[in-house]
């Protein structure tokens, strides 16, 4: 735990946003600052402030004790997770829908990483370390399927290079609204707009995706998806842009609330290590 701190804002920091100031002061991300604000670990003038409040010289900021994100998450043996394959410094697990990839703060334990740490403590400190120890890539909370972790720093670095060079093979199965037809490779520019990613004309991150229909089920279609890049919400935003949002993806235009969106990571391959995950029955069932 970090010690309790009380800081008087100097004149040089007057006019700065609270979250930016604290991120720089504490050496943590703005996202983690927001978590601390939500946990009421930060006070401004004795009150619970908003993240975007502007600081004035002489303001007093109190920072209550909190877990440093570099401390790493706690092991959670009670959280079930199925290991599909292990070896060569890699772990492939089958993440169910509803389970986050990794925690956002020390108090959170119901994630794939917390579950794995109970069986593979060597994950701690690998790669980015802290709350992202061993994490090679992420799946959205409501995306299911194969997820890859590294148990050694050397393997983590090598696989991250493979991701950067677009040499990691990934396949997904999506169930989308409407009759999707035609094999397509599409490149879009995506940028953050609130909690969502939006297609923009320029200035976004390039998202390249290959799409191929598998079969139609009623007024929906199963589509094989191969992302060639790794942009947040890439598949979800691309399918929504094409007018075929994922079933259950209310954020991106679905009209059916299924408690999850129907996107499943079926396969991943890198450095001669590959793993596959079976598709849940809901992808084939009548809805």
Annotated catalytic residues are 140
Give which of 276, 230, 72 is closest to 136, Cα–Cα: 230
3-state secondary structure of 83: strand
Does residue 230 contact residue 137 with C-beta atoms inside 8 Å? Answer: yes
Please count the CA atoms within 13 angstroms of the CA of 1 that sit on its side-chain side: 9
Instruction: Give the helix ranges, DSSP H, for 134-246.
Output: 153-164, 234-241
The whole-angstrom separation of Cα 82 and Cα 151 is 16
| Distance separating alpha carbons of residues 161 and 168, to the nearest angstrom | 9
Rounded CA separation 222/172 (Å): 10
216 bridge partner residues: 221
CA distance 171 to 149: 17
């Amino acid at each position: 735990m970090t010690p309790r701190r009380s800081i008087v804002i100097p004149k040089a920091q007057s006019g700065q946003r609270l979250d930016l100031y604290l991120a720089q002061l504490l050496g943590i991300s703005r996202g983690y600052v927001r978590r601390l604000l939500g946990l009421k670990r930060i006070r401004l003038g004795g009150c619970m402030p908003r993240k975007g409040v502007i600081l004035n010289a002489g303001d007093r900021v109190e920072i209550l004790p909190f877990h440093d994100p570099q401390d790493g998450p706690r092991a959670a043996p009670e959280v079930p997770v199925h290991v599909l394959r292990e070896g060569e410094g890699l772990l492939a697990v089958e993440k169910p829908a509803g389970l986050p990839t990794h925690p956002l703060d020390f108090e959170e334990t119901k994630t794939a990483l917390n579950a794995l740490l109970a069986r593979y403590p060597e994950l701690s400190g690998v790669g980015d370390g802290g709350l992202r120890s061993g994490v090679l890539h992420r799946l959205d909370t409501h995306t299911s399927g194969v997820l890859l972790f590294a148990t050694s720093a050397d393997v983590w670095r090598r696989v991250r290079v493979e991701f950067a060079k677009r040499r990691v093979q990934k396949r997904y199965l999506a169930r989308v609204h409407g009759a999707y037809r035609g094999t397509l490779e599409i490149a879009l520019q995506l940028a953050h707009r609130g909690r969502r990613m939006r297609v923009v004309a320029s200035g976004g991150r390039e998202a390249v995706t290959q799409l191929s229909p598998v079969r139609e089920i009623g007024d929906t279609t199963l589509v094989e998806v191969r992302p060639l890049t790794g942009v947040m919400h890439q598949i979800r935003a691309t399918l929504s842009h094409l007018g075929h949002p994922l079933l259950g993806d209310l954020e991106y235009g679905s009209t059916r609330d299924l408690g999850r969106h129907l996107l499943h990571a079926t396969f991943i391959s890198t450095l001669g290590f590959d793993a596959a995950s079976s598709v849940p029955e809901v992808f084939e069932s009548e809805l």
